[in-house]
Structure formats: structure tokens, C-alpha cells
Amino acid sequence: MLGSASLQFSLHHVDASSSARSGLLKVPHGIVETPAFMPVGTQGTVKAVTPRELAESGTSIILANTYHLALRPGSDIVRDAGGLHRFMAWDGPILTDSGGFQVFSLATLNKIDDEGVSFRSHIDGSSMHLTPERSIEIQNDLSADIIMAFDQCPPATADRSIIAEAVARTARWAERSVAAHGRDDQALFGIVQGGLHEDLRFLSAGQITALGFPGYAIGGVSLGETPLEMRRVVRAVAPLLPFEKPRYVMGVGRPSDIVHMVGSGMDLFDCVMPTRHARNASLFTRSGLLKMRNFSLARDYRPVEPGCPCYTCRTFSRAYLRHLYSRNEMLAGILGTIHNLTFFQGLMSDLREAIRTDRYAEFGASYREGEPLEVD
């Protein structure tokens, strides 16, 4: 069971000069205009903001992490609370990842085989076992609108033999994820792996799309490769995914990468970048990244971004925010996160408008010219 009936995706316009597309994604908890960016709510919360502030930033859909919520508080507690929407008081759409990325990146890995992954928790070292069936069970408990098939996610720069084995295993685990999914109110997406190897990506895309998922993701990017390599992979894989279904690039959040990948025909993105950068005193503007502890801002009484509609920019100056960050005040991260989330959602809104008016190429060129290639 794939939950296809719970998701409706309609494309409204494709840009005349690119593959950029705008559309509407309808799921049980609401409607998402695409292309869309999903802030990451790792522990059932987007760090430093309330659900109301999250909605006010323009956010329509968020991502939550299966691995972390299974460890704490436990998916059964979330289930008994009425599901993640009710537990965290967010009534908009939610997508949950499969837990695969966190298992391979955070946990101490003991064993991986066709059955699943045995590992030790990064929190207390306790032994755990995650299989496709268990991943789907946890996501069923969480009751997200969109859930992900369990996959093996090696670094993009891993040896080809390791990536080839992960492609084969991801296909087998996708079939088991489909068989384990028992809810028709959750749409199950498949994930394409293959690292930087286009032939392996083509193989994986064929295997995963053959299963008829209601949506597809490109996984295994933004994991050590260069931006140009990552963009090349996405550009190659996007046309292999069904045109009429939503396409999601996992873990990509640098604004210039988002702009580029929208032009390749991708619809959904997620990343911790706006929230993590905000907590680390880095705020996004159209002119680049502001380092909020810089002495040059001590007497800068302008808002972070003139014209930005967020509460932070309407109310506070760069000088005040620098003061908060320099003193490690809790309010700094809150106000910075409000701004960064609003910036990202404003970028997506501008992209959607550029697509609708066949101005994507003009918008993309001007945006990339104004943004530093590297964000540190």
C-alpha cells in the first residue's frame, strides 16, 4: 500500500526556458505550493521557534526525523498522543524521513545486511535494530502526511562497490517498505541512490520508479561532494523521475543550490541550514551572509534585510542583534531563526512567481550572481 490516494499533485506551469515547475501538493493536513522548502524539526520541533512563528514565516510543510523521535520520546508515545501533528501542535503537512541517513551518519554501526542495520544509539550506546518494516512502523506511529522508504545512504564519495551494493539493497528495502506500509492516509515516497555515478543513478531510478510510488526523492547528495558534482547528479536524475509526480532532493538547503535544482525540475527541499546558521550568528540576505558577531555591525541600525517582512527585521536593528549574539542571549537565536526561515520562504515564493511568469532564467542568473558560492 502506497497511500497514493492521500496525495494529489498538480503542475500548474512549467517555465518556458527551463525545467522549473510550479504546482500544488495536497495532503491530508493541507496544501503546499511548490517548489517548497521544508524546515527540519529534528526532535518534533523546529528549533527556536513556535509553530505560530513557523507559520508566520511562510512555512507550509516541515520535516521530522524518524531516528531521533524513535529514540526520544519513542514513537509509541507520539502515537498515543494522537500523532506528531497533535503532539507538537503543528497542523500543517509533515514529511518524515526513514531514519536511514541518521543511522549511517550518527550511530555507531555494528552490522548492515539485507535484513537491516544493527547499531548503537548515539545518545546512550544502547543496541538497536532498524529494518524497512520497523522504519515504516515508526513512521506510521508518527502519522506524517508523507513518509519515506528505508534506504541505505552511503557518502557520495564512497567507493563505487559500496555505492553499487547500496543501490541494490535500497531497491530490495523499497519493496519491503511498500509491503509493510499499511495506512492509506500517508503517501510513501521512494528514494533514488547511486552516488556520483550516473549509470548507478539510472539503474536505481529504474528500480525505484518501477514500484509506482506517489512521489520520489534523490538521496545521497550533499554528503561530501562539490556543489557542481551535486548539481550534475540532480540534473541527470530529475528527468528519470515521473513528470507528473513530486520530486524531492533530500538534505539540500544552500540557496544557490535550491535555485539551480528548481531549474532542473525539482519540487521539494529540506535542510537544517537556516536554523543552524541562525543559532551560529549567520543570517541570510540577498547580498550574502551576515556574520552577526562582526564588529562592523556594532553601530549598524538598519534591519538585517531592508524590506524583509519578518518580525525581526520590522522590529530590531543589526546592532541590537549583534549585541544579543555577542552576549550569547537566547533571544539571538530566536530572532535569527525567524529571519532566516522568512528569507528561505521568501526565496521559494519568488521562485514560484518567476516560474509562473516565465522569468526563471532571469531570476536564477541574478540571484546566483549576488550570492557567495560558499556558505560557511
Q: Cite the active site residues.
A: 97, 270
Q: How far apart are CA 82 and CA 315, in angstroms?
A: 37
The cell numbers describing 352, all together, are 514560484
Residues 6+ apart with CB under 8 A from 270: 37, 38, 39, 40, 63, 95, 248, 250, 251, 252, 253
Burial letters for 43-73: b for 16+ Cβ neighbours within 10 Å, e otherwise?
ebbbbbbebebbebbbbbbbbbbbbbbbbee
Hey, is 33 helix, strand or coil? Answer: strand
Cis bond upstream, residue 35 (ω within 30): yes
Q: Does residue 123 contact residue 115 with C-beta atoms inside 8 Å?
A: no
Cis bond upstream, residue 303 (ω within 30): no
DSSP H helix total and E strand total for the chain? 15, 16
Phi, psi torsion values for 324, nearest 5 degrees:
-65, -45
Sign of CA dihedral 94, 99, 100, 103: positive
The cell numbers describing 51, all together, are 509553530
Cβ-based neighbour number of residue 175 at 10 Å: 16
Residue type, 176: R
Q: Does residue 196 contact residue 229 with C-beta atoms inside 8 Å?
A: yes
Q: Does residue 246 contact residue 215 with C-beta atoms inside 8 Å?
A: yes
Q: Does residue 48 contact residue 341 with C-beta atoms inside 8 Å?
A: no
Helix spans in 106-154 (H): 132-142
**Listed residue (291, 302, 297, 305) closest to 323, CA to CA:** 297
